[in-house]
């Protein structure tokens, strides 16, 4: 077990190294000039050259890359070229709203799609099943920003149940926090709800067909006990997988949702950083999200290994 | 517009009664600015949002009043009879935000740093024999050659105003940003609540001693009537408007004109121009690359383009844009109609002329690469409209869409189009950035590598610009400016695509918003 | 469950049973969308790029069936022409990701040494959020059709590689492949004759999902201001431009949104139907 664990962790190292190199090259071969973003449209060439020099952008690419990786290993992700603030501090300021948004979306997903998926599988082929399946296909087919705008125009503008925009941290009270995060959370969750309810339904159907479930049913256990104690527990692993692989998808949803609902999170930060060519900031955000992805999937793999010894020897 | 201006004047009068009143409870002004604040050094940046930020935190030796006259602000001044020596005396009670007193040597260092970064400032320094502090309170500028613009430049609100900062900050090397925000302005910057690109917070500077004269643009007493100003950036105009309607924000600095009808229906919201000066949209030719290296082709293009069509598509409501020939802004003292023959006539007759000129020009069908920014609403429509007109005139046009950051850096290169160059793009300038030939970067006729993108070359324009600097009377200046404008049209320096007015929207609970060359946060009360 | 041998595919299975009504509907909608793209110039009453500043933001009328946008262009004509780019982007991305992913997946499934290196790179690519990658790539050159296709293709490649690789690995253990190996069939022949056919069915299914996802991603890129320029109408950039005027005329967003959603919905339904027929193992699985 320990050697499996070690092997998996070591495998993440070349993955991260590849990501770092890939992102660095991609950005540096992109046209655009951070000095311009600092000095504005009407700046003169001398001004731009002076700024470039003070930022070290006139150094050869290879030495810029080595310096970046070296500092990073020591825990220093560098300073934003534009605002001159430490990159980690800027990310720290913005990560809260994004985490809140993502967790609310996750919670909504679990609260809505698990029961839906279970119900659909239980009444396989019935009305609820068809409704859930149509809903999930629809969830995949409508862009998040359209869902966002529909939600805003119905629930915020017309019904006035929710504020149209903005974010309040949890520290300012649970009520204020929830009041503002429900709509964006729901918009972001829409695609996830589609995905997870489908996945739940499918895994449940598979498990419900297994012998031990049929035995349990034959023994006369109530549907509820069979569904939740036996079936759902065994269907958990594939659902967990979806959560892991869906992480990257969630990031793209976050970028759009934060724009529609004006939430000052990582998603907007990264779009702004790309548009301003703020290299250290873009690099750090992509590397950190990629790292989070690798970590989440590592944990999921390890949790499989813990529950299912066969996997370790694959 | 006149109605809005009148309601404005009324609002200003109401504010008059509020002068000097202490704020009772803590009042916070929530504002959506036209762009996010990402950098803080107003000397290094030419962006309007950073300049507005500069006027919050920093102060200037002189201010500019609504009649374009320099007036004392931090300092009173005297000018010697031969106009070669300027003496500035700092007024009493000036303190930096770190509590230390403002000294003349701080101001000397600040002027030097500003002059190193500002084109007009550099020109001024070339005429200065000595700039020194003669005491803690007094500084002197002695000229080596006549230079008529000293006071105007020290008072100018754009593109880089000479903001005063402590010597230790002003000595930051050129090219490196000042990040510590210590000024002597009416607001203090709250550094730990600053989230670059998202939020900036300012609180009233309780130590600020305003002048006793009435407020007028950046001159006069800067009376702050709110305790806190929060700038929020919202990437989406819809979101901003919803927030204004729900009362989450008090003021939107710049509203999309097309959405104004939505706000007019709401009697808790007023709209109008608080930025007294408009902005001019300019279509720049690259004089170094074919086909626009040929003056006849540039002229054909100028006839093909149509101010009204460009403005109508970009802005919509004709109430909010103006068409004029003046390259210095439609309503400034130097405005004239020189070159208006290039804009006269209906779009149809002009098109006929354009075709004729293009045929005669020897244009070989080389495609024009037109850069279009996708992420900047104000400038995303003009390239599309222009491309269609140019094609109609017989040009081949390729519209290259890119984000604004890419466009900005691509415009700096003059290599052939195949190697990443360009032929034409649109940008816009606040009128205070182009209102005379000294500050107007697009009228630089040196054609040198260090000039602003486009690189037109014309010796006569350079002579005239030098003459303008030495000119001391307005009449003299007007004559010179007029001739420069005519040449700029004849030679196709750029296409003047019209002037638009930015319109703000605010809740009626706000009183006393001040008109100015940019958005000002003194005077206003909530 | 028996293995899907190459010859068993796909004609017989497709005709096993009459298609579900949703599948029929999906096919009808898709045919309509394709017709819209192909015959756009006949269907649309206006040039989609024809500006008319005097007719900006007009409501629907007998001349402008769906009204006009902020340039005074006819919304109906733009939505019709928008089908071209959306279908092209979807097709381009699907084709490119399969053309690149398939050989890589075959090689990875066959050569163990290559597999280790390639899959670490693919893990890396998958870890980078697709939208961030796409935003960065679009900024790389001018925001044209090809750039957008490349930008959306990159994050899709690892998915295809993984899918193909897993099918190849599974097929390798099948008896008929074992037999072929024992008989000394050369590797190239094994790959082309036995392993490649095993990947066709899942690839067709996966292809439909890639197609749908590509159209959605293009819309999202346009929404964020890094998509195909406004000169070429796409459903994505029609919506992105319309959202500024959402409060005045929400239909500027909703019309392209409806057509886009219907189109994606049909592709997804078709994908589901194909999967149920061609690849029952994946039944009920999501894209």
**Domain at A218, CATH number:** 1.10.3720.10
Using CB atoms, pick whichever of B197, B409, B449 lies closest to residue A269.
B197
What tokens does B171 get? 């000595």
Torsion region of B443: left, alpha or beta (phi above 0 gives left; psi -120 to 50 gives alpha)? alpha
Question: Nearest Cα to B405, choosing from A30, A266, A44, A285?
Answer: A30
Using CB atoms, pick whichever of C124, C135, C284 lies closest to residue A271.
C135
Handedness of CA B147, B150, B151, B157 (dihedral sign): positive
pLDDT bin (cut points 50, 70, 90) of residue B226 is very high
Mutation to test the B interface, candidates A37, A39, A54, A155, most B Cβ within 10 Å: A39
In what helix (H) or strand (E) does residue B8 lie, and over which residues does it extend?
A: helix B2-18
Query: Is the model's pLDDT at B20 over the cut of 60?
Result: no
* Distance (Å, whole) CA B389 – CA B380: 16
CA distances from B208 to A82, A163, B187 (A): 30, 37, 8
Q: Are A154 and A106 in contact (CB under 8 A)?
A: no
Q: For B435-490, what is each residue's pLDDT tens digit?
A: 999 889 899 999 988 889 999 999 999 999 999 988 878 999 999 999 999 999 99
Q: Output the pLDDT for position C16.
A: 59
Query: Is the model's pLDDT at B94 over the cut of 90?
Result: yes
Using CB atoms, pick whichever of A145, A195, A205 lies closest to residue C223.
A145
Q: For C113-144, what is each residue's pLDDT tens digit?
A: 888 889 888 888 888 888 888 877 776 555 67
The DSSP code sequence of B114-134 is HHHH-HHHHHHHTTEEEEEES
Question: Nearest Cα to C162, choosing from C105, C111, C98, C100?
Answer: C105
* Residue in A closest to C245 by C-alpha: A149
- A187–chain C nearest CA distance, Å: 14
* Distance (Å, whole) CA C277 – CA C17: 9
Write down the ipTM of this complex: 0.78
Q: Is residue A59 part of a domain?
A: no
pLDDT bin (cut points 50, 70, 90) of residue B5 is very low
Angle in degrees, CA B83, B88, B92, rounded to 5: 155
Q: What is the largest CA-CA distance in chain A?
A: 84
In what helix (H) or strand (E) does residue A131 lie, and over which residues does it extend?
A: helix A127-141
pLDDT bin (cut points 50, 70, 90) of residue B25 is low
Q: Is residue B421 part of a domain?
A: yes
Angle in degrees, CA B170, B171, B177, rounded to 5: 70
Query: How many other β-carbons are positioned within 10 Å of the β-carbon of residue B99?
Result: 8
Q: If you search the block for the tokens 């607001």, which residue do you land on?
A: B187
- Measured in degrees and rounded to the nearest 5, phi and psi for residue A311 equal -60, -35
Name the residue range of residue A147's domain.
Answer: 94-270
What tokens does A141 get? 């087919």
What tokens does C27 get? 């096919």
DSSP state of B248: S
Using CB atoms, pick whichever of C120, C140, C283 lies closest to residue A30.
C140
Sort A2 into a burial class: Cβ within 10 Å, 0-12 / 13-18 / 19+. exposed
Q: Output the pLDDT for position B9.
A: 42
Indicate the number of domains in chain B. Answer: 1
Torsion region of C76: left, alpha or beta (phi above 0 gives left; psi -120 to 50 gives alpha)? alpha
* Residue in A closest to B194 by C-alpha: A93
Cβ distance C231 to B406 less than 8 Å, yes or no, reads: no
Query: Is the model's pLDDT at B317 over the cut of 50?
Result: yes
Using CB atoms, pick whichever of B238, B261, B377 lies closest to residue C246.
B238
Sort B364 into a burial class: Cβ within 10 Å, 0-12 / 13-18 / 19+. exposed
CATH number of the domain that residue B433 is part of: 3.10.105.10
Q: If you search the block for the tokens 């994004």, which residue do you land on?
A: A98
User: Is A95's Cβ below 8 Å from some Cβ in B?
Assistant: no
Indicate the number of domains in chain A. Answer: 1
* Distance (Å, whole) CA C99 – CA B396: 35
Q: Output the pLDDT for position B17.
A: 40
What tokens does B199 get? 């939020």
What tokens does A180 get? 């503002």
Residues, chain C: 287
Angle in degrees, CA A33, B386, B407, rounded to 5: 5
Q: Is residue B55 part of a domain?
A: no
The pLDDT of B68-78, averaged and rounded, is: 96
Query: Is the model's pLDDT at C2 over the cut of 50?
Result: no
Helix A266-276 × helix A87-122 angle, to 10°: 130
Q: Output the pLDDT for position C140.
A: 56
DSSP state of B473: S
Q: What is the 3-state secondary structure (H, E, C) of B396-450?
A: CEEEEEECHHHHHHHCCCCCCHHHCCCCEEEEEEEHHHCCCCCCCHHHCCECCCC
Q: What is the 3-state secondary structure (H, E, C) of B42-101?
A: CCCCCCHHHHHHHHHHCEECEEECCCCCEEECCEEEEECCCCCEEEEEECCCCECCCCCE
Q: Is residue A22 part of a domain?
A: no
Decide the pairing of beta strands B59-60 and B321-322. Answer: unpaired
Q: What is the largest CA-CA distance in chain C?
A: 77
Q: Is residue B236 part of a domain?
A: no
Which residues lie closer than 8 Å to C220 by C-beta, 6 or more apart? A143, A144, A145, A252, A255, A256, C131, C236
What tokens does A228 get? 């939740």
Distance from the first to the final alpha carbon of chain A: 13
- B408–chain A nearest CA distance, Å: 6
User: Is B63's Cβ below 8 Å from some Cβ in A?
Assistant: no
Which residues lie closer than 8 Å to C53 by C-beta, 6 or more apart? B309, B312, B313, B385, C71, C72
B243 neighbourhood in chain A, CB within 8 Å: 164-166, 262
Q: Are B217 and B64 in contact (CB under 8 A)?
A: yes
Q: How many A×B Cβ pairs under 8 Å?
A: 134
User: Is C169's Cβ below 8 Å from some Cβ in A?
Assistant: no
Cβ distance C129 to A199 less than 8 Å, yes or no, reads: no
Mutation to test the C interface, candidates B388, B401, B421, most C Cβ within 10 Å: B401
Q: Is residue B171 part of a domain?
A: no
* Distance (Å, whole) CA B73 – CA B294: 48
Query: Is the model's pLDDT at C82 over the cut of 60?
Result: yes
Q: Are C138 and C148 in contact (CB under 8 A)?
A: yes
Question: Nearest Cα to A120, choosing from A191, A199, A189?
Answer: A199
A36 neighbourhood in chain B, CB within 8 Å: 405, 408-409, 412
Handedness of CA A232, A234, A235, A237 (dihedral sign): positive
- A15–chain C nearest CA distance, Å: 5
What tokens does B47 get? 């962006």
Q: Output the pLDDT for position B521.
A: 96
User: Is B247's Cβ below 8 Å from some Cβ in A?
Assistant: no
C53 neighbourhood in chain B, CB within 8 Å: 309, 312-313, 385
Cβ distance B412 to A93 less than 8 Å, yes or no, reads: no
Q: How many B×C Cβ pairs under 8 Å?
A: 81
* Distance (Å, whole) CA A140 – CA A164: 24
Q: Is residue B154 part of a domain?
A: no
User: Is B191's Cβ below 8 Å from some Cβ in A?
Assistant: no
Q: From the first residue on, what is the mean pLDDT of each consecutive set of 10 residues in chain A (314 residues)?
A: 79 86 82 76 78 82 87 87 89 92 89 87 84 82 84 83 81 87 92 84 80 75 73 71 73 85 87 81 88 84 70 52
Q: Which chains touch C (3 or more CB pairs under 8 A)?
A: A, B
pLDDT bin (cut points 50, 70, 90) of residue C282 is low
Q: Is residue B418 part of a domain?
A: yes
Q: Output the pLDDT for position A311.
A: 57
- Measured in degrees and rounded to the nearest 5, phi and psi for residue B173 equal -55, 150
Question: Nearest Cα to C214, choosing from C275, C273, C165, C160?
Answer: C160
* Residue in B closest to A281 by C-alpha: B196
Handedness of CA B239, B241, B243, B245 (dihedral sign): negative
* Residue in C closest to B318 by C-alpha: C54
Q: Output the pLDDT for position C8.
A: 42
* Distance (Å, whole) CA B121 – CA B221: 26
Q: Is residue B417 part of a domain?
A: yes
**β-pair partners for B371:** B400, B425
The pLDDT of B98-110, averaged and rounded, is: 97
Name the residue range of residue B470's domain.
Answer: 279-500
Question: Nearest Cα to C124, choosing from B455, B219, A23?
Answer: A23
Cβ distance A140 to C212 less than 8 Å, yes or no, reads: yes
The pLDDT of B54-76, averaged and rounded, is: 96
Question: Nearest Cα to A156, choosing from A135, A182, A193, A188?
Answer: A182
Q: Are B119 and B441 in contact (CB under 8 A)?
A: yes
pLDDT bin (cut points 50, 70, 90) of residue B335 is very high
Using CB atoms, pick whichever of B316, B384, B401 lies closest to residue C143.
B401
Q: Output the pLDDT for position B151.
A: 95
Query: How many other β-carbons are positioned within 10 Å of the β-carbon of residue A267?
Result: 31
Cβ distance B316 to C57 less than 8 Å, yes or no, reads: yes
pLDDT bin (cut points 50, 70, 90) of residue C15 is low
The pLDDT of B84-90, averaged and rounded, is: 97
In what helix (H) or strand (E) does residue A121 lie, and over which residues does it extend?
A: helix A87-122
Which residues lie closer than 8 Å to A125 by C-beta, 6 or more apart? none
CA distances from A259 to B474, C107, C137 (A): 49, 41, 20
Distance from the first to the final alpha carbon of chain C: 22
Query: Is the model's pLDDT at C154 over the cut of 60?
Result: yes
The pLDDT of C84-92, averaged and rounded, is: 92
Q: What is the pTM of this model?
A: 0.83
User: Is B36's Cβ below 8 Å from some Cβ in A?
Assistant: yes
What tokens does C71 get? 């340039």
Question: Nearest Cα to B230, choosing from B271, B266, B187?
Answer: B187
Query: Is the model's pLDDT at C34 over the cut of 60?
Result: yes
3-state helix, strand, coil in chain C (%, to 5): 75, 0, 25
Q: Is residue A52 part of a domain?
A: no
The pLDDT of B418-441, averaged and rounded, is: 91
Q: Is residue B287 part of a domain?
A: yes
Q: How many A×C Cβ pairs under 8 Å?
A: 142
Q: Which chains touch B (3 or more CB pairs under 8 A)?
A: A, C
Q: For C214-227, what is each residue's pLDDT tens digit?
A: 988 888 888 777 77
In what helix (H) or strand (E) does residue C34 lie, and over which residues does it extend?
A: helix C21-38
Q: Output the pLDDT for position C279.
A: 65
Query: How many other β-carbons are positioned within 10 Å of the β-carbon of residue C174?
Result: 16
Q: Are A155 and B238 in contact (CB under 8 A)?
A: no
C265 neighbourhood in chain A, CB within 8 Å: 137-138, 141
């Amino acid at each position: 077990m320990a050697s499996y664990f070690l092997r998996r962790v070591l495998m993440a190292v070349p993955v991260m190294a590849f990501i770092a190199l890939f992102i660095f090259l991609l950005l540096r071969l992109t046209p655009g000039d951070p000095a311009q973003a600092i000095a504005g449209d009407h700046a003169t060439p001398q001004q731009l050259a002076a700024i470039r020099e003070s930022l070290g952008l006139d150094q050869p690419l290879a030495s810029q890359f080595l310096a970046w990786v070296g500092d990073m290993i020591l825990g220093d992700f560098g300073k934003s070229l534009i605002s001159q603030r430490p990159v980690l501090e800027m990310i720290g300021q913005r990560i809260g709203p994004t985490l809140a948004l993502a967790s609310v979306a996750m919670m909504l997903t679990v609260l809505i799609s698990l029961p839906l998926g279970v119900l659909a599988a239980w009444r396989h082929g019935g009305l609820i099943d068809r409704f859930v399946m149509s809903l999930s296909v629809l969830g995949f087919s409508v862009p998040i920003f359209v869902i966002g705008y529909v939600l805003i125009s119905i629930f915020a503008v017309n019904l006035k149940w929710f504020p149209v925009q903005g974010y309040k941290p949890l520290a300012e009270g649970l009520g204020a926090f929830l009041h503002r995060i429900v709509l964006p959370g729901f918009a972001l969750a829409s695609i996830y709800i589609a995905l997870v309810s489908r996945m739940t339904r499918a895994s449940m159907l598979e498990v419900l067909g297994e012998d031990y479930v049929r035995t349990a049913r034959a023994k006369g256990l109530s549907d509820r006990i069979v569904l939740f104690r036996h079936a759902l527990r065994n269907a958990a692993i594939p659902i967990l997988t979806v959560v892991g692989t869906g992480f990257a998808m969630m990031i793209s949803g976050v970028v759009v949702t934060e724009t529609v609902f004006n939430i000052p999170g990582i998603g907007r930060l990264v779009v702004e950083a790309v548009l301003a060519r703020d290299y250290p900031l873009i690099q750090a955000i992509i590397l950190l999200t990629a790292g989070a992805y690798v970590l989440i999937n590592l944990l999921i793999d390890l949790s499989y290994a813990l529950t299912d010894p066969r996997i370790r020897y694959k | 517009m006149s109605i809005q201006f009148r309601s404005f004047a009324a609002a200003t009068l109401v504010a008059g009664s509020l002068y000097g009143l202490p704020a009772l409870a803590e009042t916070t002004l929530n504002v959506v600015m036209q762009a996010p604040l990402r950098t803080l050094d107003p000397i290094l940046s030419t962006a309007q949002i950073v300049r507005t930020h500069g006027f919050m935190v920093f102060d200037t030796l002189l201010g500019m009043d609504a009649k374009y006259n320099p007036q004392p602000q931090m300092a009173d001044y005297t000018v010697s009879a031969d106009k070669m020596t300027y003496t500035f005396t700092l007024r009493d009670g000036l303190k930096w935000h770190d509590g230390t007193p403002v000294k003349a040597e701080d101001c000397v260092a600040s002027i030097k740093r500003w002059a190193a970064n500002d084109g007009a400032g550099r020109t001024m320094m070339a005429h200065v024999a000595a700039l020194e502090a003669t005491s803690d309170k007094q500084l002197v500028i002695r000229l080596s050659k006549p230079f008529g613009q000293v006071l105007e430049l020290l008072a100018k609100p754009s593109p880089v105003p000479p903001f005063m900062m402590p010597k230790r900050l002003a000595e930051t090397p050129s090219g490196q940003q000042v990040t510590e925000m210590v000024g002597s302005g009416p607001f203090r910057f709250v550094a730990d609540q600053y989230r670059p690109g998202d939020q900036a917070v300012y609180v009233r500077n309780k130590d600020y001693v305003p002048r006793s004269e009435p407020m007028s643009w950046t001159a006069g007493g800067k009376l702050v009537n709110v305790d806190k100003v929060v700038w929020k950036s919202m990437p989406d105009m819809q979101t901003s408007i919803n927030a204004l309607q729900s009362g989450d924000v008090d003021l939107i600095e710049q509203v999309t004109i097309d959405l104004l009808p939505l706000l007019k229906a709401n009697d808790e919201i007023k709209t109008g121009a608080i930025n007294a000066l408009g902005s001019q949209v300019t279509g720049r030719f690259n004089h170094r690359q074919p086909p626009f290296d040929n003056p006849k082709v540039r002229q054909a293009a100028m006839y093909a383009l149509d101010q009204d069509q460009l403005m109508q598509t970009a802005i919509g409501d004709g109430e909010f844009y103006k068409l004029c020939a003046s390259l210095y802004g439609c309503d400034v003292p130097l405005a004239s109609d020189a070159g208006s023959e290039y804009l006269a006539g209906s779009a149809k007759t002009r098109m006929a002329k354009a075709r004729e000129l293009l045929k005669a020009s020897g244009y070989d069908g080389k495609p024009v690469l037109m850069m279009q920014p996708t992420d900047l609403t104000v400038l995303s429509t003009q390239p599309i409209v222009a491309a269609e007109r140019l094609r109609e005139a017989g040009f081949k046009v390729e519209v290259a869409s890119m984000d604004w950051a890419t466009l900005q850096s691509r415009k700096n290169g003059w290599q052939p189009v195949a190697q990443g160059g360009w032929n034409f793009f649109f940008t816009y300038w606040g009128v205070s950035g182009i209102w005379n030939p000294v500050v107007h970067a697009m009228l630089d006729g040196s054609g040198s590598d260090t000039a602003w993108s486009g690189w037109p070359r014309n010796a006569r324009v350079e002579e005239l610009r030098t003459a303008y600097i030495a000119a001391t009377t307005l009449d003299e200046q007007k004559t010179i400016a007029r001739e420069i404008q005519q040449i700029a049209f004849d030679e196709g320096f750029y296409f003047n695509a019209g002037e638009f007015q930015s319109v703000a929207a605010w809740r009626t609970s706000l009183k006393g918003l001040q008109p100015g060359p940019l958005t000002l946060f003194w005077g206003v009360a909530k | 469950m028996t293995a899907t041998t190459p010859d068993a595919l796909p004609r017989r299975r497709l005709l096993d049973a009459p298609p579900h009504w949703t599948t029929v509907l999906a096919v009808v909608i898709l045919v309509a969308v394709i017709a819209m793209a192909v015959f756009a110039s006949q269907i649309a009453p206006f040039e989609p790029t024809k500006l008319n500043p005097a007719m900006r933001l007009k409501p629907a009328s007998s001349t402008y069936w769906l009204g006009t946008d902020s340039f005074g262009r006819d919304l109906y004509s733009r939505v019709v022409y928008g089908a071209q780019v959306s279908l092209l982007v979807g097709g381009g991305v699907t084709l490119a990701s399969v053309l690149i992913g398939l050989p890589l997946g075959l090689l990875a499934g066959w050569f163990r040494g290559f597999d280790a290196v390639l899959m670490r790179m693919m893990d890396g690519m998958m870890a980078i959020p697709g939208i961030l990658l796409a935003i960065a790539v679009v900024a790389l050159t001018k925001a044209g059709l090809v750039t957008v296709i490349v930008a959306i293709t990159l994050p899709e490649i690892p998915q295809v590689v993984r899918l193909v690789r897993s099918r190849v690995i599974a097929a390798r253990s099948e008896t008929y492949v074992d037999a072929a190996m024992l008989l000394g069939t050369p590797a190239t022949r094994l790959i082309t004759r036995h392993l490649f056919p095993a990947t066709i069915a899942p690839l067709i299914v996966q292809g439909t999902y890639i197609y749908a996802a590509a159209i959605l991603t293009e819309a999202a890129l346009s929404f964020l201001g890094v998509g195909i320029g406004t000169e070429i109408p796409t459903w994505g950039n029609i919506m992105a431009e319309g959202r500024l005027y959402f409060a005045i005329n929400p239909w500027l967003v909703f019309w392209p949104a409806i057509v886009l959603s219907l189109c994606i919905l049909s592709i997804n339904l078709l994908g589901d139907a194909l999967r149920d027929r061609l690849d029952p193992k994946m039944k009920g699985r999501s894209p």
